[in-house]
Amino acid sequence: MAGARTFHQPVLDLYLTFSVPMQVALGALLGGLWYWKYRATGAAPQADDWLMGSVALLSCGLILWPLAFAMAHHGRVRVDGFGVEVAGRLGLRRAVAWSAVASVEPVRIFWLRYLRILSITGRPAWLPVRVTDPEGYREAIARYAGDEHPVARALAATS
């Protein structure tokens, strides 16, 4: 449809959402392994052990950047006169018509905010609240759905 707008989630938000928990988990795992290793031998930790742990944590953080970019591309939102199209399960796109929206509720996953849109079919769609162009996002949804639409009102209330 002419005039459709596409929006993306910020890459840094997605990176931090997955990088920080994975680095904490990896750090806890490495710390536990070193604890049991040095508890059994009674020896003191060596400098190269700390260096290897730091390299492992840094590598985990660097490896996740491409994942964050891929998720930002996959997590794009398309807004047009028909409705909204968002990423669904298993990489499939999910379109919800404006007229098919039954309810909207704000949801938080870690620090990422979403609107959970339940359609009349009963299937949920997850609309990110924070995108790279927040003003254009709000304007596009208000323009296509109308200011009194549940999605526009919920988005205005969370901003």
The domain spans of the chain are: 5-73, 75-158
- Per the CB < 8 A criterion, the answer to whether 129 and 117 are in contact is no
Q: What is the per-residue pLDDT for 140?
A: 92
- CB burial string 138-156: b at 16+ within 10 A, e below: eebbbebbeeebbbbebbe
Domain at 75-158: CATH architecture: Roll (2.30)
pLDDT at position 91 = 63
Q: What is the pLDDT of residue 152?
A: 92
Query: What distance in Å separates the CA atoms of residue 84 and residue 95, rounded to the nearest whole number?
Result: 6
pTM: 0.69
Supply the DSSP symbol for 94.
E
pLDDT tens string, the chain, 159 residues long: the values are 557 888 877 777 777 777 777 777 777 777 777 777 777 777 776 666 667 777 777 777 777 777 777 777 667 889 998 999 987 666 678 889 999 999 999 998 877 888 999 888 888 888 888 888 889 999 999 999 988 999 999 998 886
